[in-house]
Structure 1
Amino acid sequence: MKKNINQKLAIVFLFLSIGIFQSCSLDEQNRTTVSLDKSYGERSGFEGLIDSCYENLYFLYGKVDFIAPNEAGTDSWENVGSGGIGFAQYASQLNPDDGNLKVIWGTAYSTINLCNTAIYYATDVKGYATTDELNAKLAEAYFLRAFNNFLLVEQFGGVVLRTKSSIIEGVDNAPVRSSEEEFYNLIIEDLKFACTHLPTKQTLQGRIAKKAAYGLLAKVYLQRTRLGEVQKYAQLALETAEELINNPSKYNTALYVSDNTKSGFAKLWSGQNNKNNTEFLFTQGIDHVSGLNPEAWNRGRTRQYYLPDLATRGAEWGTGATSILYGRANSRLLKPSKYLLTEVFSPVESPADTRFAETFTFKFYAAAAKTITQAMATAYKKDASVVGYTIKNTLAQAAPAVNFYSQRIEEQVNMNNDEGLAVFTPNWTIDAVTKSKMPMLVADPSDLFEPGTNRYKDPALYPNDPNLINMFPAMRKFSAALYCQSNQYWLGDIPIIRLGEIYLIAAEAAILNGNDQNKAVGYVNTLRKRAALTSRENEMVVLASQINVDFLLKERARELTGEHMRWIDLKRMGKLNKAYLDQTNPIAGTNFVDGKHLVRPIPRSFLDAISNATQFGNNGY
């Protein structure tokens, strides 16, 4: 089995924590630095330090702390109940005490500090045969410093740009702000170093290779266009993206190819392709065998934050409150907007585009046999013909080819003609008569949304109807059954940058750099055709004249929904404003303040720790 970087991380964390904790109390004789010189001045200790720079990725991807700030409060998602309300509705809960922001701030600066420490010790480290060999390792630190500075500048704006290690220099108690342009200058400089010196291939799964550096640099150049010099940075983004697109064999990358049974997009998310995926450029690599991760098995909980109400409404029809396949139904956080379900994705039963079906679960199966009673039929306005119908149990022991952990998992038996289907949440509307005769709970857009608006229904206005507003399709990326370890944990690798996004970066950059629609449409159609079966790929082709920024914004949603980037996409494309949100997702637009909500509040824990908090300010919060 291919080794994972976590297997090395587990060994070095204890050693590194000793050095880091010692460094918090530097005295005049600087004794701890002498100790660190011995540790990090040798190749083995230095490489352990580099390994530690990866750790904090695990506190972002697959965790609620990073999902809410990057997906909520956009055109795509609304909050369920009070969960994530600060981000989803720009409510008062979005303040300096928010725990999610504290995690992002703390993990980013912690990683940057470790990277700065590695960069400092690289000047004298022993044990490398050549400078090139050393730089290949050091480039990982430069990449991760750039990645974390990118997180900081997009979430918080121009804050503190740190290039020195507090382990070496001591703590800066009166920091000053740097401009966003200064952040980007350092990010780009770091990534150029990484592109030059990283190896083309790595032996450890999850370790950064050259393809990750080019992918992040293309993304950074494109995002930099929001600060001005649009054509300059768009051209750089295009050239960098094309380096990856035009050299697949060099970087061992390729889009998955459709056939007549499965689209390339479906193959991308297949569990069988997860651990050696040709489209993944930069991943959070997970040890799914022994749990040697910074939080052991506590990984990949993304799926449970997007679940509908399978514990009460769904349970009435046979679903379970907890599920190996779906997750924990009591951890619900986000539900899709009407705009996402019916305007971004085509609201038809059998579209050529498979991306809705591969992005969302909209069929939920019974965990136990359930017979439809007259009371259920009356409450849910069902036809008398369904009374007495038994929705069949679908649980069975999964074969290793289906689930690595051989769990009892839904969708194993009684699947013919959907006889085990308990809850059905399509994004297309079914006429009322047909729906009444379907022996399952059905919630389509007409049940969820107010007619003629992009708002979910207020159940109080429909006292005679069942309350179905929390029965919706569930985002299911990062949920392949093969790696469902428990009803909480999913142990697949999570892509942070993937090749599909690079095609969209190239297309957007081509539009920004001279409105080259002919070049842009080639990249767009390549992606769109791979999203269909080969027999229907011609239905996916669009014309060059259709390609503009608004089209690409929707295309990014179709391709990248739920992948932790919608908020910064809206920010870059000038759509993170009240007028746009009022139109696409009104609940997000209600409290939105133009200008203010382009950045987040700075955590109080940081402001309380510095001596110049008043002068430093808090981004208008």
Structure 2
Amino acid sequence: MKKTSKVNLYICAVFFSIASLQSCTLDEENLTTVSLEKSYGERAGFEGLINSCYQDLYFLHGKVDYIAPTEAGTDSWQNVNNNGVGFAQYASQLNPDDGNVKVIWGTAYSTINLCNMVMHYAKEVKGYSSQEELDSKVAEAYFLRAFSNFILVEQFGGVVLRTTSIPVDDMNGAPQRSSEEEFYDLIIADLKYACDHLPVKQDLRGQVTKKAAYGLLADVYLQRTRLGDSEEYARLALETAEELINNAANYNASLYLSDDSRSGFAKVWLGENNKNNTEFLFTQAVDHIGGLNPDWWNRGRTRQYYLPDLATRGAEWGTGSRSILYGRANSLLLKPSKYLLTNVFEPVENPADTRFAETFTYKFYAATDKMITQAMATAYQKDASVVDHLIKGTEAQAAQAVNYYQQTLEEQINMNNEEGLAVFTPNWVISKEVKSKAPMLVVDPSDIFEPSTNRYKDPAQYPNEPNLINMFPAMKKFSASLYSQSNQYWLGDVPIIRLGEIYLVAAEAAILYNNDQAKAAGYVNTLRRRAALSSRESEMLVSSADMNIDFILMERARELTGEHVRWLDLKRTGRLTKSYLEQTNPIAATYFDEAKHTVRPIPQSFLDAISNATEFGNNGY
């Protein structure tokens, strides 16, 4: 079969796929003008094909398109204004023309197509010294196909299960659906192959290894419990998670542990740990030096979609709308639910658990000097003592040790004694008297939430109060200052699976398999201890009697908030229901329909391209 290649080979652009700084030179031929067999029949072309399998994944993690489908519409987040209303409230905007749906669908099937090409040409490629050496490379494609199919089956249900590639076998114009069970059978088989054949270490950051395969397989087994045979798949999830946990050093992985000055959880998110993180099992690697990524410097925009209103309301108190540290404040999308801020995280000033403080920014500093006027004091119900107080600007040229790009970075001066603090949004309640005398805007849960429900206030019902509902803590996990390249772009690596999650997989699986509460408590307490400073670890311990699915689900929220897993968590545990959402985050329950909203609509562009669209159906949409 002789077909001219119509796909990019990326032989000389490994860095586009996995953020490598290495380069290579082609020999004499331009491989884009020769047959696929010749291109992929030699090791250089074949490995270029494997590297291209990573490319499209860059359009998920670290970008806006994957935030709403994985985090919105859960117990954790509400939409800001009308942004993200389709996913956050299951409104009519969630339809076959939705852009996020198109990105997820296209990304998954593009990756699967490339992976299938790898598997096809693996049978005839030359240049490897042994079958074992070849298998270790092909295993990357097996992992990435499994990862993409996992996304498909959870987001769209039983759709088209493809095991051949379009350049090799023509597109089927009347595709048939496969069952979710069939999807999982292939996903599990692919990941077993990956576990067996992937190396422990790779030369390039971002290439998948054994720890990634075991981590994803544990996740997959646990998620598979929702389809039946839950005890058996829980057993497999537990065994797989324990293989990784008990042999972490052999797989080049370890948890960060606490000391007297910093919790282990805090260390996970430090910039200096980002590019060689011992806890990251599967990572979207980003080139922060040359911007050699599939979309160049356009990376890490997750942080700006969780910001409060620093552009207008915050600006009245001195914050800037464009900030190297916080991001661009005119891209508001999601804000934390009351349940997340005050039920999941303990709403007290100095908890032993550092995960709220390390997950959220709740102190925002002035960009330039700002004087508190009488008009501000009146509008925000401030005491006369704060009038004429100067909130000092905090911008200064960052030292190289603080910021890789030596950009102007906030919080460099006038911050140690809070002279530059402009907006303070804690998750604990502060008395009105204290707030009135604080020389800054203070917004606590009592200012933004209804006192007796889990809803944000309706400003129309509180005409005598300033409207503060868009002033809230901002999720900051993907925001370490070292890699803040601009007000839009953050060039740190983004973890997709990390070891901390696997401890919670083991805990949940232990409950589902044989209700081993003691084992579950052991895994949960390991994470809880390292969430505190070493001097306060004992305050974090919970008992075996506390262990049940609801507790572990809440513990997953504390540990994994904002990490693109919450929608799957609720779906797996049977909490993606109208009644649960009404209890925890009523806005998400507004239009929720259990008959269709546990899957997403099929993109209209796909339905228009097939001849049996009516028969194929659109998941109830």
> Aligned equivalents of 2:143 and 2:523: distance in 1?
27
1:168 is matched with: 168
SS at match of 2:20: helix
1:28 matched to which residue of 2? none
Residue 535 of structure 1: SS of its match in structure 2?
helix
Name the counterpart of 1:329: 329
- Unpaired segments ≥5 residues, structure 1: 23-31
**Pair 7,254 (structure 1): closer, same or farther in 2 beyond 3 Å:** closer
Residues 418 and 448 of structure 1, relative CA distance in 2, 3 Å threshold: same
Aligned 1:179-328 pairs, distance under 5 A: 179-328=179-328
The Cα shift of 1:249 comes to: 1.6
Structure 1, residues 89-146: CA drift from partner, whole Å, max 9, x if none?
A: 0000000000000000001000000000000000010000100000000000000000
In the TM superposition, residue 252 of structure 1 has moved relative to its aligned partner by: 1.2
- In the alignment, the residues of structure 1 paired with residue 455 and residue 18 of structure 2 have an alpha-carbon distance, to the nearest angstrom, of 45
Q: Is the 8 A contact 1:9 1:52 kept in 2?
A: no
The TM-score normalised by the length of structure 1 is 0.96
1:474 matched residue in structure 2: 474
2:416 is aligned to 416
Q: What displacement does 1:5 show?
A: 2.8
Quote the offset at 1:358 in angstroms.
Answer: 0.2
CA distance in 1, matches of 2:576, 2:181: 20
Stretches (4+) displaced over 4 A: 8-13, 15-19
Query: What is aligned with 2:77?
Result: 77
1:359–1:476 Cα contact (<8 Å) kept: yes
Q: Shift of residue 245 of structure 1?
A: 0.5
Residues 242-292 of structure 1: CA distance to partner in whole angstroms, max 9, x if unpaired?
111001220111110101110000001000000000000000000000000
Identical counterparts, % of pairs: 74
Task: Output aligned runs, 1:399-548, within 5 Å.
Answer: 399-548=399-548
Amino acid at match of 2:352: A
Structure 1, residues 545-602: CA drift from partner, whole Å, max 9, x if none?
0010000000000000000010010000000000000000001012101131110000
CA contact (8 A) 1:119 1:138 kept: yes
Structure number with the higher helix fraction is: 1
Distance 1:179 1:234, change over 3 A: same
Q: 1:300, CA displacement in angstroms?
A: 0.3
Instruction: In structure 2, give the amino acid aligned to 1:467.
Output: N
Structure-1 residue corresponding to 2:19: 6
Q: Conserved in 1, the CA contact under 8 Å of 2:20 and 2:205?
A: no
- How far the C-alpha of 1:11 sits from its partner, in A, is 7.5
**Aligned residue number for residue 610 of structure 1:** 610
Q: Do the aligned partners of 1:77 and 1:337 also contact (CA within 8 Å) in 2? A: yes
**1:195-215 CA-partner distances (Å, limit 9, x unpaired):** 000001111001101100000
Aligned length: 606
How far did 1:357 drift?
A: 0.1
Alpha-carbon distance between aligned partners in 1 of 2:511 and 2:24, rounded to the nearest angstrom: 48
Q: Secondary structure at the match of 2:417?
A: helix
- Counterparts of 1:613 and 1:18, CA distance in 2: 37
1:341 corresponding residue in structure 2? 341
Distance of aligned partners of 1:11 and 1:86 in 2 relative to their CA distance in 1, 3 Å threshold? farther
Give 3-state SS (helix, strand or coil) of 1:115's partner: helix
Q: What secondary structure, in the 3-state scheme, does the structure 2 residue paired with 1:608 have?
A: helix
Deviations, residues 595-621 of structure 1 (Å, cap 9, x unaligned):
311100000000000000000000000
Distance across 1 between alignment mates of 2:400 and 2:448: 38
Say which SS state the counterpart of residue 330 (structure 1) adopts.
coil
User: In the alignment, is the contact (CA less than 8 A) between 1:9 and 1:51 conserved in 2?
Assistant: no
Q: Secondary structure at the match of 1:452?
A: coil
1:351 maps to what in 2? 351
Q: Deviations over 1:275-328 (max 9, x none)?
A: 000000000000000000000000000000000000000000000011000000
Report if aligned partners of 2:570, 2:576 keep a CA contact under 8 Å in 1.
yes
- Give the C-alpha shift of residue 18 in structure 1: 8.1
The one-letter code sitting in structure 2 at the alignment partner of 1:115 is C
For the residues of structure 1 that align with 2:298 and 2:156, how far apart are their CA atoms?
A: 28
Q: Give the alignment's Cα RMSD to 1 decimal.
A: 1.7
Q: Would the aligned equivalents of 1:394 and 1:415 in 2 still touch at CA under 8 Å?
A: yes
C-alpha separation between the residues in 1 aligned to 2:76 and 2:25?
40
Contact 1:77 1:88 in 2 (8 A): yes
Residues 435-473 of structure 1: CA deviation (Å, up to 9, x unaligned): 100000011000000111000000111111110000000
Quick one: which amino acid aligns to residue 264 of structure 2?
Answer: G
Q: Who is 1:381 aligned against?
A: 381
Query: 2:116: which partner in 1?
Result: 116
| Distance change >3 Å, CA 7–CA 53, structure 1 → 2 | same
State the shift of 1:12 in Å.
10
Question: 1:401 Cα shift?
Answer: 1.3
Residue by residue, what CA displacement relative to the aligned partner does 1:474-507 show, whole Å, maximum 9, x if unpaired?
0001100000000000000000000000000000
Q: What amino acid maps onto 2:382 in structure 1?
A: K
Does the 8 Å contact 1:78/1:587 carry over to 2?
A: yes
Corresponding residue for residue 568 of structure 1? 568
| Distance in 2, Cα, partners of 1:340 & 1:400 | 36
Structure 2 match to 1:29:
none
For residues 208-227 of structure 1, the C-alpha deviation after alignment (integer angstroms, 9 at most, x for no partner) is 01100000000000000000
Give secondary structure in 2 for the equivalent of 1:495.
Answer: strand
- Pair 1:337–1:90, CA change in 2 (3 A): same
- Judged with a 3 Å threshold, the aligned counterparts in structure 2 of structure 1 residues 38 and 163 are, in CA distance, closer, same or farther, namely same
Rounded to whole Å, the distance in 2 between the matches of 1:563 and 1:119 is: 31
Q: 1:423 is paired with a residue of what secondary structure?
A: strand
Q: Following the alignment from structure 1 to structure 2, what is the Cα–Cα distance between the partners of residues 112 and 328? A: 34
| CA distance, structure 2, for counterparts of residue 560 and residue 10 of structure 1 | 36
- 8 Å CA contact retained: 1:10, 1:293: no
Aligned partner of 1:451: which letter? P
Tell me, in whole angstroms, the C-alpha distance in 2 between the residues paired with 1:416 and 1:145. Answer: 49
Q: So what's the TM-score if we normalise by structure 2?
A: 0.96
- Aligned partners of 2:31, 2:573: CA distance in 1, in Å? 45
| Per-residue deviation, 1:7 | 3.3
Partner of 2:579: 579
1:416: how far off? 2.6
**DSSP-derived class of the 2:275 partner:** helix
Find the counterpart in structure 1 of residue 5 from structure 2.
Answer: none
Aligned to 1:27: none
Q: SS of the residue aligned with 2:597?
A: helix
Unaligned runs of 5+ in 2: 1-14
2:312 and 2:133 mapped to 1: Cα distance? 58
Change (3 A) 1:365 1:139: same
The one-letter code of the counterpart of 2:56 is: N
